[in-house]
Amino acid sequence: MLGFLVLSLGKIVVVFGCLMLTVAYMTWVERKVISDFQVRLGPTRVGPFGLLQPIADGIKLFFKEDLIPSQVDRTIYLLAPALSLAPALIAFAVIPFGDTTTLFGLLPAPLGMHITDINVGVLYIFAISSLGVYGIVLAGWASNSKYALLGGLRASAQMISYELSMGLSIVGVVMMAGSLSLVDIVKAQGELGVWFIVPQALGFCIFFCCALAETNRAPFDLPEAETELVAGFHVEYSSMKFAMFFMAEYANMITAAALATTLFLGGWRGPVLPPVVWFLLKVFAVLYVFIWFRATLPRFRYDQLMAFGWKRLLPLALLNALVTAAVIVGVS
């Protein structure tokens, strides 16, 4: 029992540390990629190729003055950033980033390369990821600012609109795999000899669009919308509380990319390279497309955002589920 607890704690520390490091350097990657799109240099001053820029940004935010407006609901105002960040981190607990390992023979038995595997892993991800919007809504309400409140309301409406389509987009994957366990879904793709993105191309496109909306990324970044709401739900935040909202956004991006990799891109499976390397390559490919969309597409109007979710993605997600079910019944 003690050995199991030590191994579990070790996995949590390693995964959490790698996730936080990736969150920090995703800011550098995004600035570099967007600067390439816009024919600029991006970060170059701090360290070679600007690689120390995330550390400099973290130090700057840590030592900035922490301003709290006088008319805020102080308790909720202070809790909101943590309520936004915590679900973004703990959602990664069921993502499998490899099959098993013995750490080059150091372990007496193979160890699963995931923090935990539960038979309702997909439901766990959706349940936890949907909690992050509470932090955004509470931040908007507690800030006592009309701009922040509008950003929070937009985030809640956006989550309701796109969460439904996202859930329906993976129904086909669940039916094909016959399980809600993320490990079983990856193994099913190996047994069938095809990544689910091939038979579920429409489901993947719907899932990806919904992931953009759920993480408040362009062109669905209406809760922030600098041109309309100054900065939206986090307009009254500064210092590390401001940083926590951005950490939550990038952590949600990484979780969404890892989930897309697991459900549609075969997870850790691939030839020649080690499984973890394949998993990381696929995750960063999806993250690159996240950034590509931000650099390329203009922001939706809010009515366009809602219409796209309810009138386009939802009917297509239902159609995809029905067609998948019909094909499975027909084949069997």
Instruction: Provide the residue ranges of all domains of the chain, joining segments of one domain with +.
Output: 2-38+73-97+111-331
Does pLDDT of 155 surpass 80?
Answer: yes
Place of tokens 């990484």: 254
- Identify which of 79, 93, 87, 81 has the alpha carbon closest to the alpha carbon of residue 16: 93
pLDDT band at residue 282, thresholds of 50, 70 and 90? Answer: very high
pTM: predicted TM-score of the whole model, two decimal places: 0.92
Does pLDDT of 287 surpass 90?
Answer: yes
d(CA 216, CA 90): 19
C-beta separation of 305 from 158 below 8 A: yes
pLDDT band at residue 292, thresholds of 50, 70 and 90? Answer: very high
The tokens describing 227, both together, are 């041109």
- Identify which of 265, 287, 267 has the alpha carbon closest to the alpha carbon of residue 277: 267
